[in-house]
Structure 1
Amino acid sequence: MLNLERLRTLDALARHGSVSAVAEALHVTTSAVSQQLGKLEREVGQQLLAKNGRGVRLTDAGRLLSEHAGRILSQVELAESDLEAQRGQVVGELRLSAFPTAARGLFPAALGTLRGRHPGLRVRSTELEPEQGIAGVVRGDLDLAVVLDWYNKPMPVPDGLVKAPLLDDPADVAMPVDHPLAHRDEVDLAEFADDEWITWAEGEFCHEWLTFTLRSKGIEPIVGHRASETHTQLGLVASGLGVCIAPRLGRNPVPEGVVLVPLVQRVRRHVYVVWRADADRRPSIRAAVEALRAAARSVG
């Protein structure tokens, strides 16, 4: 009979592509991964892996079995979800992620609520950018991910995922206190055509949104500095090094020397949580979504 843990390891290798990445995803050593795959080869009596430079690749038999493994593990998860739903208890392990400002703005209250109400639930959280969080849910490395999109740039959500809105997060322009527009009640993005921008890392969804939005107004952004953390961006603004977009979720405390001015076009991020449809009946998923919504209401 095929061993589920070994099938899980093979499935992870098919998804992640290397033994070291599998070890990181499954929180085990590379030696343990190799041992599991070796045992699986002996179990099926066929070669599943072949050397590929310094790494490995799946053989035809390995790819065939990995496809079956994905379907088997999905059915096992569905069975576990149904059993958990029938039992009606919020127990076990729950793995979730959020982008940094949501982790700061929502996780303390939401995860504190879960611990207080459901002591039998073991929660594991991490900070991940939205694309990484969605990919983790799709792969099965995460149970839920708090992600975002912008009012004018949606985040694609793959088939097989369920999403629930948490809040709309307004964003302002952060500028140094001596900026010529710092006294204004509202500003337009077009007024910052000559300013240096402090933005997110290249390739991050929020950076791509800012570039897309400024270019739609005929502005080629002048990027002076990049930082993934809002507080780092605000610290650079306070030093007079540029301006940035500052969503309100998780941004406090704002450093001295920074002025926040709303935008005329009322820029907003849509924040929501996603999970796999085959886990929809799990009480732990429902409890986590409820706790996140309550935390979102308290900051909204």
Structure 2
Amino acid sequence: MAKRTVHTLSFLTLALGVVAASAGVFIHKGGAPYDFVNQYGDKVEIYGKGLYAHDSTFKAPIFRGTDLSMLFVACPLFFAALMYDFRNGTLKSRLQLTSLIACFFYYAAGIALGVAYNALHLVYIALFSVSLYGLVAAMTSIDRYRLVRSVLPEFPLRGMYVFLFLTGLALFGAWLPDIMQAFRLGRPLLLIETYTTEITYVLDMGLVAPAAFICIYLLKKRAGLGYILLDIFLTLCLLMGIMLPVQTLFQFGAGIEIPPAALAVKMGVFCLLAVWAALLKWNYYKNMRDL
């Protein structure tokens, strides 16, 4: 029953993810940018076309870059992981599927809570719901004691600790200065534009970064949940490293100018972390036996 539940929710997550990402990539006709004065009295340029017509010109290309990455990278990986787990049902296959469901939940939270209302609002809500409950079902379906025993005793965790700690700090370092500057100036966030909050800051500093530090603690205790969170974190970092350059290319294509320093620091750091995550994930799976 648990296996069927996980696979059903996974299939629904994949199907809804394909619909949401495809719409963001391919619905891009009509309209033109226009200016709008937000609630803070600042003039903001609105994108004016496609699915993200009511989002800002700065944010809409980011959303489209995310959709492209999800459609052509994350969705094929998700399908492969789902098929592999359906046919084999190994510990590694379930762990990989769980990690990809978590990535889809992160994506769903971003579009359901951070995108201006559009025709896919119900799709976003459905994706948020099935990915959340799919993640819970997948995590609880993993035998944590068996997972701990499957990891070879000689598996080096020190590198994992360093990676998790630095990545958690990097997330705070990337976004916290923007908030502190807004506090110092007595103004809203520089790029708040027409939005009520910055969902990326909420997810990264409120959910992902704390999860990194919690994961370190759990790994030190040899807790099964720590090994699950580790794979989720590595997979999410790897996917983010693919998304960021694509998002940046879409912004360049829309004529958005990004300061070289911000580009080098934020994108460069996270791309390096993504490469590091890929190496650590390979080493993690190499040191895991299917019991």
User: Do they superpose with TM above 0.5?
Assistant: no
More helix by share: 2
- TM-score, normalising length from structure 1? 0.26
* Structure with greater strand percent: 1
TM-score (norm: length of structure 2): 0.27
Larger radius of gyration: 1
